[in-house]
A and B are shown apart, each in its own frame.
Chain A
Amino acid sequence: MNVSNIRKDFPILDSRINNYPLVYLDNAATSQKPRAVIDSLVDYYENYNSNVHRGVHTLSVKATEEYENSRIKVKNLINAKSSTEIIYTRNATESLNIISYSWGKKNVHSGDDIFITPFEHHSNIVPWQELCRDKKANLRYVPLNGSGDIDMDKFRSQLSQRTKLVSITHMSNVLGTLLPVKEMIKSVRATPAVTVIDACQSVPHMPVDVQDLDCDFMCFSGHKMLGPTGIGVMYGRSDILNEMPPFLFGGDMISEVTYESAQWNDLPYKFEAGTPNIADAIALGVACDYLQDIGLQKIWDHEIQLGEYAVKKFKSLKNFKILGDRSKEKRGGVFSFHHEKIHPHDIGSALDKFGIAIRTGHHCAMPLVQSYGIVAASRASVYLYNSNEEIDKLIDRLSEIEEYFSGE
């Protein structure tokens, strides 16, 4: 993979921040966008802006075609059986909420169990807390073993006919830990539960195959995978989606309306009420093309290499500790670090002065960060356009910052 060529496709990577070239290491929060994605937004608004599914005129036909084409690209990216299983939403958070409201309200009852893991983003915690409170169901956490990995045997022993839903992150947005989702889903198959994968940190970075994983739902956000903000995906197996009630009601989601009642439209439209986010959906399709042209396996290999390099380099900084470090088979290109004395805010502000963008704070995963006995951490996360030289810059600056704050 030729990183310097890839970098040329991303206009923002030429920016200078505080007179230093931008080093963007906040990809777990959102990715940068290649020119092709940005251009596709302008192209839509300049050349074929019109509503979808409702007109016979040329522009509407073209917009509908492009919108539906993008759905096929997303379907291919995650190897869904059919593009009707791809529902467009605003982001992963909305996707998870739809599952909670629509599937959860109908299928979860008093005394049932919902399982999530201790690694989840708030978006994959709070909707289930609310559902469980509403239904008097139990929100349970998948148990971990002494080394902080999923304890599969214990997990299996806790599953029962009362287990109704298991929602797990594919990769932690804080620690970069990969969870054994395939194995977990296999175990859950012995129960009536549906399985949900929060793939926010996996689909953008590695080959993901929903049929191979055998999950029932998968949620991810376009903006973390080179696409624009405002467009996300809820994948669902069609037999399950067909049985689910709609979540929003109005235009597009019906097939027939009388003054008294309405007939729900077919998939995926049943879940896409109102005029959708046409431009951003089309641009997400362009992002999928971009990722596929390079190849997700290549992107993943590159990120693994960067992660390994970074972890090795971090060891040279004796007072910085990586949280929840794992071997390279069990981690991706996200790592959080902590300094005993220097607060993440000071680290973040100081790195910014050198043009280096990282994330500081609780990373929308307060329980996980707090389980390390701290309230905030610094996080660097890489993507296809990052290089070893950028990791070097990060490490060099961190050691300068340490001197600065300790006054030595």
Chain B
Amino acid sequence: MSELTDFDEMYQEIVLDHYRNPRNKSKLSRDFLETKSYNPFCGDEIELQLSINDGKLEDISVTGRGCAISQSSGSLMSEVVINKSINEIKEISLIIRSLLKNEEVQEKDLDRLGDAFALEGVKKFPVRIKCALLSWAALKDLIDQY
């Protein structure tokens, strides 16, 4: 489907790779916080488990079902936030939100997103932004609780 230019921007190779081979999907066994977030309009579902120790995210599990954007976003997120401090994770969450909402983001902040920067293409598809943010919203819920 080489004709799909915008489309390839949304589904960048790395996004499709995370969709086909999601990372960090083993359920945690140690103490963890857990939440499930759900988009009733399309049925996208993300289950998130976090194991936090001393203000640092030591392990994460992301599972769910739904569209390529919601599921790959969860997987990409897990790779960026693992082993980071809660404060850093809060900042990264804000950066990804700004990026998808088409707000101005500084270059040095973009670097902090790692591969999750590949989600940028979704901003051209406003109806899909909710899909991309589903796992990030779940993350925020849990971290705010912590």
Contact = CB atoms under 8 A, between A and B. Distances in A.
Interface in A356-376: 360-362, 374-376
Contacts of A349: 7, 10, 125, 128
- How big is chain A's contact interface, by range? 20 to 34
A156 interface: no
A353 B128 CA distance: 14
Contacts of A374: 43
Interface stretch (B22-30, B46-54, B62-70, B90-98): B62-70
Interface stretch (A240-248, A339-347, A381-389): A339-347
A345 B67 contact: yes
B128 A404 contact: no
B41 A400 contact: no
Contacts, number: 55
B39 to A, nearest CB: 9
A249 interface: no
A350 interface: yes
A219 B10 CA distance: 41
B16 interface: yes
A361 B67 contact: no
Interface string B27-44: 000000000000001111
Contacts of B4: 350, 353, 404
Given A346-B67, A407-B20, A353 B43 contact: no
A407 B43 contact: no
Given A362-B43, A376-B43, A343 B68 contact: yes
B69 A346 contact: yes
A346 B43 contact: no
Nearest to A19: B3
B69 A345 contact: yes
A401 B68 CA distance: 12
Nearest to A345: B67
B128 A361 contact: no
A313 B131 CA distance: 31
B6 interface: yes
A376 B42 contact: yes
Contacts of A18: 6
A405 interface: yes
A361 B39 CA distance: 11
Which 8 A-B residue pairs are closest in the complex by CB-CB distance?
A: A375-B43, A343-B67, A345-B67, A353-B7, A376-B43, A346-B68, A346-B67, A376-B42
Interface of A: 18, 342-346, 349-350, 353-354, 360-362, 374-376, 400-401, 403-407
Given A343-B66, A362-B43, 6 more contacts: A18-B6, A344-B42, A349-B7, A350-B1, A407-B16, A407-B20
